[in-house]
């Protein structure tokens, strides 16, 4: 069983992931309202990915006979002032989640909780990818804030179907 401090913090992280889900949902709705179907689809997919991350953590807690305690979460930021603001917020969010995951890894190491440390390795790799892709999207959105079609074209071209990652942790209910 994971260390009790780790379980407490991982339950908190489940809340952070669910809050990220809701924030991405708010971003998707913003772009849907702007009739930007590619950006909307991208952020709807991001929302589902964050939900999956939360459920991976729930499954780990279940697998290790640890208590699962879903915390309350704050409402997402909404509405947005322009086309750039949701992506700026999303990048900040991904950087914050990266810090949170890294802090969880430090805690697992401090507790000599090797199974939890190993579990977090996939999330470490995932966050590198998430920050990089959101950073690229922000660059494109800033550069093309006045030409929405260019943003849509970029997302359609670069945001293709994501292959399932066989190394990803199991998802609760999946």
Q: What is the pLDDT of residues 106-126, one digit of tens each?
A: 999 999 999 999 999 999 999
Q: Give the pLDDT band (50/70/90) at residue 162.
A: low
Give the model's pLDDT for residue 79.
95
The answer to whether residues 171 and 52 touch, using CB atoms and an 8 Å cutoff, is: yes
Per-residue pLDDT reduced to its tens digit, 37-56: 999 999 999 999 999 999 99
**Inter-residue contact 3 to 111 (CB < 8 Å):** yes
| Secondary structure class of 127 (helix, strand, coil) | helix
pTM above 0.85, yes or no: yes
Contact 30, 78 (CB under 8 A): yes
| Predicted local confidence at residue 160, as pLDDT | 65
Say if residues 39 and 152 touch (Cβ distance below 8 Å).
yes
Tokens of 22: 């809701």
Q: Which CATH superfamily is domain 4-158 in?
A: Ferritin, core subunit, four-helix bundle (1.20.1260.10)
Whether the pLDDT of residue 159 is over 90: the answer is: no
């Amino acid at each position: 069983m994971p260390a009790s401090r780790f379980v407490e913090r991982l339950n908190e992280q489940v809340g952070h992931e669910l809050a990220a889900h809701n924030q991405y949902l708010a971003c998707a709705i913003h772009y849907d309202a702007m009739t930007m179907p590619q950006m909307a689809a991208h952020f709807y997919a991001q929302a589902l990915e964050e939900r999956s991350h939360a459920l991976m953590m729930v499954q780990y807690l279940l697998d290790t006979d640890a208590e699962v305690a879903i915390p309350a979460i704050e409402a997402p930021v909404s509405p947005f002032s322009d086309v750039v603001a949701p992506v700026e917020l999303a990048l900040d969010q991904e950087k914050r989640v990266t810090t949170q995951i890294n802090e969880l890894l430090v805690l697992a190491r401090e507790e000599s909780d090797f199974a939890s440390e190993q579990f977090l390795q996939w999330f470490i790799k995932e966050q590198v990818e998430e920050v990089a892709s959101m950073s690229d999207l922000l660059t494109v959105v800033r550069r093309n804030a006045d030409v929405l079609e260019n943003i849509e074209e970029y997302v359609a071209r670069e945001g293709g179907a994501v292959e399932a990652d066989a190394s990803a942790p199991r998802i609760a209910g999946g």
